[in-house]
Amino acid sequence: MSFTKPAFARHAQWPFVSLALMSFALIQNVGAVAAEQAPAPSAIRNVSPPGVATPSVSGPLQRVAPVGKLAEPKDPEAGLPKGAFDLKGAVVLDGGTLKSGRLVVRIAHVTALGAKDTCTSRLGGDWPCGARARSSLQGLVRAFTLACERVAAVGEREISATCSKGGQDVGLWLVKQGWAVPADGAPEAYQAAIEAARTAKAGQWQAEWVAELAPLVLTTPIEPVIEEASPQPAGTQAEPLVVMPGAAAGTGDWVNPFDVKDPEALGAPGSVVPN
């Protein structure tokens, strides 16, 4: 005998099932939000130095939004010189970039070689002209203070500027030495300097003519020409490929320059066998 629940009893269970599913989803969402806000106290790593007391954490952490000056956007011009400035203790990063403290200065009006750039040598190979350019600039700057004038801001704590050492324009010096090329809008003296550097084959221009050579390409393939030997008449002896000096012409006889006779002709008159 089977028993079937009344229809009203079966439909009465659906509200309880829906309530259970909603409660489960709510618990999952609350856990996900808590995980995004901050890590649990048990996941916090204590990095305090010895002797420093740490507060006890008993509840979940909360991330606090920055307030005051911390909430203000960073000024890209903060810490950058506005006009003329002195560059002290500069470190050379490449053939046209200097760094002093947190300030990076790129020499204006030139496009310099990178630290890893290579150039073609006189023999056709490559040589590290970028590293050589950096060493040359380091030899010029050394520990001297450079007088610089800001040209433009390039990025955060990075500007382009013209610098000089003892009245010597660093950018113009790089072009004269063959370690840089003038950028767009560079002064006319830079254009004259690069022509002189190329003429003198200075720096990276020492083997410019090798780099400009076109690769050797054969437009017409060369095929070997093979000539067939003419047949020899019966009873005649072929001419030797090599005829020693002193041999009679047309006889094909060999002349031994060491006067070594054939061992089979030992009994013949005049035969000499060396010891």
The residues spanned by each domain of the chain are: 84-209
152-198 per-position pLDDT tens digit = 998 888 999 999 999 999 999 999 999 999 999 999 999 999 999 99
- pLDDT score of 64: 81
Cα separation values, 137 from 85, 171, 219, Å: 20, 10, 46
How many whole angstroms separate alpha carbon 262 and alpha carbon 264? 5
* pLDDT greater than 90 at residue 44: no
Q: Which residue has the higher pLDDT, 161 or 35?
A: 161
Q: Which residues contact 253 (CB under 8 A, 6 or more apart)?
A: 247
How many whole angstroms separate alpha carbon 229 and alpha carbon 223? 19
Residue 211 parent element (H or E): helix 208-211
Fold held by 84-209: OB fold (Dihydrolipoamide Acetyltransferase, E2P) (2.40.50)
Mean pLDDT of the chain: 76
- Map tokens 């509840």 to a residue: 59
Q: Are residues 248 and 261 in contact, defined by beta-carbon separation less than 8 angstroms?
A: no
Q: Which of 41-45, 62-66, 97-101, 185-189 has the lowest mean pLDDT?
A: 41-45
How many whole angstroms separate alpha carbon 28 and alpha carbon 12? 26
225-272 per-position pLDDT tens digit = 666 666 667 666 665 555 555 555 555 555 555 555 555 555 555 555
How many whole angstroms separate alpha carbon 124 and alpha carbon 189? 31
How many whole angstroms separate alpha carbon 147 and alpha carbon 164? 5
Q: Which residue has the higher pLDDT, 84 or 125?
A: 84
- pLDDT score of 77: 78
* pLDDT greater than 60 at residue 65: yes
Q: List phi, psi (to 5°) of 208.
A: -60, -35
* pLDDT greater than 50 at residue 16: no
- pLDDT score of 247: 54
